[in-house]
Amino acid sequence: MRLWLPLSIIAVWAFLAIFHPILSLTPDAIDLTNILSPPSLEHWLGHDELGRPVADRLISGAHTSFFVSLCVVALGVGLGSLLGVSSAYLSGWVDVGFVRIVDVMLAFPGLLLAIALAGALGPGIGNVILALGIVGWVGYARLARGQVLALKHADHVLAAQAIGAPPWRIILRHLLPLIMAPLIVEASFGVAGAIIAEAGLSFLGLGVQPPAASWGSMIRDGTRYMLVAPHLVIFPGLTLMAVVLAANMLGDWLRDRLDVKEQTSRRPS
Amino acid sequence: MTHFLVTRILSAVFALLGVICLVFLLIHLIPGDPVEVMLGESAQPIDKETLRHALGLDLPLHQQWWIYFKGLLHLDLGTSLFSGRAIVDLLIERIPATLYLSLISLIVAIGLALPLGLVAAVRQHTPLDYGAMGFALFGMSIPNFWMGPLLILVGALWLGWFPVSGREGWNSVVLPALTLGTAMAAILARMIRSSVLEVLGEDFMRTACAKGLSSTRAVLYHALPNALLPILTLLGLQLGGLLGGAVITETVFAWPGLGLLMIEAIQQRDYPVVQAAVLCISMTYIVVNLLTDLLYAWLDPRIQFTTGEG
Amino acid sequence: MRISFHAYRHLSDIRPAKRSPIGSVQKRLHGFQLNWHMWLMVFGLISIVGCTESLPDYTLRFGLANSPTNLDPRHATDATSARINRLLYSRLVDFGEGTVPIPALATWRELSPIHYQFTLQEPAPLFHNGARLSANDVKATYASILNPATASPHRGILQIITRIDTPTENTVDFFLKQPDSLFPGYLVIGILPANLIARGHPFQKHPIGSGPFQFLERPDDTRLVIERRADGQRVEFLRIPDPTVRTLKLLANEIHLLQNDLPPELVTYLSAHKGIALQQRQGANFAYLGFNQLDPVVGQELVRKAIAHAIDREHIIQFVLRGRARVAQTLFPPEHWVGHASLPGYTYDPEEAKRLLKKAGYDHAHRPTITYKTSTDPFRLRLATIIQYQLDQIGIDVSIQSHDWGTFYGDIKSGRFQMYSLAWVGVKSPDIFRYAFHSDAIPPVGANRGHFADVVADRLITQAERTLDRQEQQTLYRTLQARLLDTLPYVPLWFEDHYALASTSITGYQLSADGNYDGLSQVRWMGPPSVPPKHIARLDP
């Protein structure tokens, strides 16, 4: 239950996000005669304020959130762990400088920095990924560095060094595999954070631009009509919450399973 | 102890300088010509040059940075492009609202998280624990911008207890503080639980129980104070999330704080104000973290032995 | 290597997870009873929240979508400022409910085609600072607008004035460059006190006029408090950009009145409530799409014509505006004396639109891209998204840029746009054609924001202005409107109806024909307040 429920939600989300082009959806098709029509048998989530099918837009929004969170987390884990591991392994001035940079990045409240960056870069989904990526890598870097510091004097690393293995080989073969577990846990929480952050930026009007759909912009538009058409705010909100909840539950499960200590990390809320 | 103080304060100063640098560079992150973005495309060349000069963007980067930094030292953050007012005045107008909201949210968060976390820890692996942690998981997963409108619907419209938005009357803070506070309480409750669980496993707790102390007293007087230290640090860190989340919550509730100022400034392409708001919030965050660390060190004499380790 | 404690803490989560040896302690704590303190902590917070009665203060609150951008009538051009300035200042001439100018502060006589004499009606009103309005103030106000250093956007049309004389305390003589039968209709700008103009008083911050309301305070950009001089009734304008919040505040009686700028669904929703009364009137505010003529894409007449054929105005009005509008072909509605009821408009015809676009050199492989500016108002954004979709259907890519109202309007005023949508509000007199379409009226002199330049239109505007015969003038203006519809500096959209939604705790608010807020002069609380407002004593300067 703790595994299968979140896993199936994530699977449905990923499936819809990946295969939405072949589902022949019409998320942007405006039908003025169907404005704010409530859920019906034919269109079981109703239509929005422009007569667009809410179900289609939810799936289109799933694509947005999936694409953004995947990119952000991949960017963060990739860049962050590489920098963190290298810094800890190389130590010395490199490491001191790195810790300083990480400190500065951590001195910003994460979401605040992302909003400011997205505001400066201008609206658009590419800039959202960039802004969240810039903010997101730090957590993974800090985690990876801490892990390597604990491991770099482990016997097998010392042994590899003794036989003259090059640093990149030690990092890739002997260190990275061992620190994957906490990174995976952190990444699964990172997915939840990225989904909420993307929706938040889109809610503020800094993310996707009309007519594209995001759960965040759907919630924003939905709140305008919540008095007359509550389905517009309820469905995207529930969907968003379900996926975020699933990602968090999966993170919890992985953490217990992989025996990783809870991070005191910041998560954008 | 003095060594710790000095290094910690130095590191905060360094972080502060870094933050100022990044915030300064924010305006240069604007793709293309920042002046053109601020004025809108097809602006008159003369207007562009005037603004470029007014912002000092025609100078070499290091000079710009020095001017910006000197201005900061004199508490001069420039003027708003939109309203023409001194940015410092705008900030001073908005800071109290954000501080007030953060403080009340913090109280809500602690008030919710402490009992939840304690109950969950003490009754580990019971329905109470699962209930509390399930609640926390939900709290973590509900975005502020969905929770906010729902609270408005229920608290302001159906019940009619609170104003819909804005900062009017003492009770207008309740809904935004609940929105922010519950999100923070969710994370905090989980941390409190694990922190208390760890303390419950320590030797002195066994001793306390062995002495025949009532379990209530044991938890409240022995476990909690010891668990509070890590929680304190966590609170400082969580404040970052709080301040960041406040941007969205303030927007939802039209709460006239720094976050709303920043969003309005973004919509008005008033980047000097955006810079100032980010700087102001981040500086608060740094200072609060410094203070929590110092407080931690002051409360926990062991700290001085644990510094200096990689 | 030494790392500061700060870094150490962040990087310290490296301890391997401990399986907490809790089991044994757990057993001993089994009898642990939940302390009631804890529950108090939870519920204490929630319960302090209940009672919320605030003292009634009898201030009438009016919810606005946009705050007024300028309370100086010499500079104000946006509708909200103009409407509030009508309350704070009085003017020589007004239009009342009709379309021809009528005396307000003054009556006038046409002594010659280039000489108008205005006589202030007795008694002239007092300014809010206590001084009595005189001919001198009128002269100073108009002289100040005509001074290029003031950079007033209203200067353009008034440049026809060559001299202003004040033969007596209460007569003002205006001498004109050339005859203009519409001239009295130009003198609708609020009169400011001469001595304060001379001193460079910041009217936008602290307006002083002679209108029925006086300025009290403007603590920030979102609030403006004015007071009715007759009885001290206070009116507070609150900027509430979000229409849902405005709706909720009206329902919660936090505001008592709002007018226009709501999605039609919410108007219907609110009007169904018992405590809220709806007033509706046919409106004459002209909504349009404006274009930058210097732009390589929308500068082409063919593209604009394609756009005109691509927008399905009838369906938008029927389904989105819920019938609260009528299709417009030109700036003036048919009932206006220069209105042109028989003008054939652009019909919704996507095929024709595609054909025109092809003629302009665009096709599937080569789609034009247009940036469409609008405000962040959700309903405007919604209309923009519909237009975006309908233009997409004929092969035009549209990207929508929405900005805060002040920024958006600032962009439009200074010509920074490719395409935008806006409405002309409260237009009464055909001098608007010079202001908006003459090639001499490029900002900051006028409001030809799209740099429209057409010799035929210029000639027709001048000819119509010079004609003293009403009939002939009407014909010329109709020809001009046909020309504008043909060259399309604007794609006309519709005239939106006005509506006001008022709490039933107030009475006497009359919705005006052009959507101004003059009804506030008459509004009363339902039943007398049990305690008289405190500030009522220190009244009437």
pLDDT digits (tens, 9 = 90+) for B28-37: 888 777 777 7
Tens-place pLDDT, residues C394-433: 999 999 988 888 889 888 988 889 999 999 988 888 989 9
For B244, which residue in chain A has the nearest alpha carbon? A112
User: Whose CA is closest to B236, among B1, B37, B12, B18?
Assistant: B12
pLDDT in tens, C57-110: 689 999 999 888 889 999 888 889 999 999 999 999 998 777 889 999 999 999
With contact defined as beta carbons under 8 Å apart, do C177 and C462 qualify?
no
Tell me the mean pLDDT in the region A87-96: 87
**Chain A residues lying within 8 Å of B247, measured CB to CB:** 111-112, 115, 204
Rounded Cα–Cα distance for residues B32 and C344 (Å)? 45
Cβ-defined contact of A107 to B286 (cutoff 8 Å): yes
Residue of C nearest to B107 (CA): C45
Inter-CA distances, B145 with B152, B179, B268, C357, Å:
11, 9, 21, 42
Of residues C380, C379, C399, the one with CA closest to residue C389: C399
Q: Is B203 on the interface with C (CB under 8 A)?
A: no
A131-151 burial code (b ≥16 CB/10 A, e <16): bbbbbbbbbbbbbbbbbbbbb
Residue B187 C-alpha, separation from nearest chain C C-alpha, in angstroms: 16
List of E strands, C292-349: 325-327
Chain segment C304-350, per-residue pLDDT in tens: 999 999 999 999 999 999 999 999 999 999 989 898 888 888 999 99
Strands C234-239 and C369-375: unpaired
**A175 alpha carbon, distance to own chain's centre:** 25
**C200/A contact by beta carbon, under 8 A:** no
DSSP label of B173: G
Which candidate, C188, C110, C162, places its Cα nearest to that of C432? C188
- Give the whole-angstrom CA distance, residue A53 versus residue A232: 10
Chain B interface mutation, best of C29, C38, C273, highest count of B Cβ atoms under 10 Å: C29
Beta-carbon contacts of C99 under 8 Å, excluding residues fewer than 6 positions away, are C335, C336, C337, C428, C429
* Cα C58 to Cα B56: distance, rounded to the nearest angstrom: 49
Q: What is the mean pLDDT of residues C237-258?
A: 90
Q: ipTM, 2 decimals?
A: 0.87
Measured distance CA(C170)–CA(B77) in Å, rounded = 50
pLDDT band of B54, cuts 50, 70, 90: confident
Q: Which helix (H) or strand (E) holds B206?
A: helix B203-210
pLDDT for residue B301: 61
Greatest alpha-carbon span in chain A: 76
Q: For the residues B186-200, what does the mean pLDDT come to? A: 85
Provide the pLDDT for residue B79.
85
Contact C248 B152 (CB under 8 A): yes
CA distance B69 to C16: 44
B195 to chain A: nearest residue by CA?
A: A262
CB contact at 8 A, B258 and C73? no
Inspect the interface and report whether the beta carbons of A240 and B146 lie closer than 8 Å: yes
Kindly report the backbone phi and psi dihedral angles of residue C422, in degrees, each rounded to the nearest multiple of 5, phi listed first.
-160, 175
Distances from the Cα of C445 to the Cαs of A151, B301, C293, in angstroms?
A: 73, 73, 18
Longest distance between any two alpha carbons in chain C, whole Å: 108
Nearest neighbour of A210 by CB, restricted to C13, C315, C388: C388
pLDDT at B213 (0 to 100): 67
Taking CA–CA distances from A250, the nearest residue in chain B reads B137
- Tens of pLDDT, residue by residue over B289-309, are 888 888 877 776 655 444 433
Residues forming a β-bridge with C119: C107, C171
Chain C CB within 8 Å of residue A31 CB? no
Least Cα separation, residue A69 to chain C (angstroms): 24
Q: Does residue C55 have a pLDDT over 60?
A: no
3-state SS, residue B107: helix
As beta bridge partners, residue C374 has C402
User: How far apart are the C-alpha atoms of B187 and A267, rounded to whole Å?
Assistant: 9
pLDDT of residue A103: 87
- Interface size A-B, in CB pairs within 8 Å, comes to 167
Cross-chain Cβ contact A102/C10 below 8 Å: yes
8 A C-beta contact, residue B250 and residue B259: yes
- Angle between helix axes A231-258 and A215-224 (nearest 10 degrees) is 140
Phi, psi of B257 (to 5 degrees): -110, -165
Q: Do B146 and A241 count as a contact with CB atoms less than 8 A apart?
A: yes
Q: What is the pLDDT of residue B235?
A: 81
Say which range, B199-203, B246-250, C173-177, C353-357, has the weakest mean pLDDT.
Answer: B199-203
Which amino acid type is present at position B300?
D
Instruction: Residue A205: list chain B partners with CB under 8 A.
Output: 267
- Give the whole-angstrom CA distance, residue C47 versus residue C272: 33
Could A269 and B144 be called an inter-chain contact, meaning their C-beta atoms sit closer than 8 Å?
A: yes
Provide, as residue numbers in chain B, all residues whose Cβ is less than 8 Å from the Cβ of A269.
Answer: 140, 143-144, 183-184, 187, 241, 244-245
* C477 vs B: CB within 8 A: no
Which residues touch C519 (CB under 8 Å, ≥6 apart)? C500, C508, C509, C510, C511, C512
DSSP per-residue codes, C489-521: SEEEEEEEEEEEEEETTEE-----TT--SGGGG
The nearest CA of chain C is from the CA of B134 a distance in Å of 17
- Cα C327 to Cα A166, C306, C322: the distances in Å are 76, 18, 13
Distances (CA, A) of B88 to B70, B71, B95, B265, C155: 14, 11, 10, 14, 36
User: Which chains are within 8 Å of C by 3+ CB pairs?
Assistant: A, B
> Across the interface, do A121 and B286 touch by the CB < 8 Å criterion?
no
Contact C376 B169 (CB under 8 A): no
Q: Which one of A1, A102, A108, A188 would you mutate to disrupt binding with B, by most B Cβ within 10 Å of its Cβ? A: A108
Q: Which of C79, C83, C101 is nearest to C92 (CA)?
A: C101
pLDDT of residue A269 exceeding 50:
no
Question: What is the C-alpha end-to-end distance of chain B, expressed in Å?
Answer: 18
- Measured CA to CA, the distance from residue C265 to residue C267 in angstroms comes to 5
Residue C1 pLDDT more than 60?
no
Non-local (6+) Cβ contacts of B66 within 8 A are none
CB contact under 8 A, A262 and B194: yes
Q: For the whole model, what pTM was predicted?
A: 0.84
Query: Both tokens of residue A65?
Result: 């959130």
Mean pLDDT over each residue of chain A, to the nearest integer: 88
Q: A99–C11: do the CB atoms touch at under 8 Å?
A: yes
Q: Is A211 on the interface with C (CB under 8 A)?
A: yes
Question: Distance (Å, rounded) from C-alpha B110 to C-alpha C162?
Answer: 73
CB pairs under 8 A between A and C: 94
Interface contact B293-C6, CB threshold 8 A: yes
Query: Which residue from C237, C214, C256 is spatially nearest to C526, judged by alpha carbons?
Result: C256
Instruction: Please answer yes or no on whether B153 and A241 come within 8 Å at the CB atom.
Output: no
Q: Is B109 helix (H, G, I), strand (E, B) or coil?
A: helix
Q: Which helix (H) or strand (E) holds C165?
A: strand C161-168
pLDDT value at residue B160? 82
**Chain B nearest C-alpha distance from C20 (Å):** 6
Name the residue of chain B whose CA is nearest to C413's CA.
B43
Closest approach of B10 to chain A, Cα-based (Å):
11
Contact partners for chain A, using 3 or more CB pairs closer than 8 A, are B, C
Which one, of C363, C354, C373, C372, lies nearest residue C302 by Cα?
Answer: C354
* C3-15 residues labelled b (16+ CB within 10 A) or e (exposed): bbbbbbbbbbbbe
Q: Which residue of A has its CA nearest to B288?
A: A107
Query: Under a CB-based contact definition with an 8 Å cutoff, are residues B11 and C7 in contact?
Result: yes
Tell me whether residues A199 and B145 touch, CB distance under 8 A: yes
Tell me the H-state helices in C30-134: 36-47, 79-88
- The CA angle B231-B234-B235, to the nearest 5 degrees, is 90
User: Which range (B153-167, C351-365, C505-519) has the least confidence?
Assistant: B153-167
Distance from CA of C501 to the nearest CA of B (A): 18
H-helix or E-strand spanning residue A179: helix A176-203
* Backbone dihedral region for residue C527 (phi beyond 0: left; psi -120 to 50: alpha; all else: beta): left
Which are the contacts of C314, defined by CB distance < 8 A and separation ≥ 6? C327, C348
Instruction: Give the contacts of B9 (CB within 8 A, at least 6 positions apart).
Output: B290
Residue window 3-32, chain C: list those with CB within 8 Å of chain A. Answer: 3, 6-7, 10-17
Touching check for A2 and chain C: CB below 8 Å?
no
Restricting to A residues 161-200, those with a Cβ less than 8 Å away from any Cβ of C are none
- State whether residue B184 is helix, strand or coil: helix
Contact A252 B271 (CB under 8 A): no
CA B227 to chain centre: 22
Place of tokens 């290597």: C1
Q: Do B15 and A121 touch (CB under 8 A)?
A: no
Q: What is the mean pLDDT of the segment spanning A21-30?
A: 87
CB count in 10 Å sphere of residue C526: 10
User: Quick one: closest CA in A to C401, which residue?
Assistant: A209
Contact criterion met (CB below 8 Å) for C150 and C138: no
* Start-end of H helices in C190-242: 194-198
CB A88 within 8 A of CB A186: no
Torsion, Cα of B91, B92, B94, B96 (10° steps): 140
Segment A55-66 mean pLDDT: 94
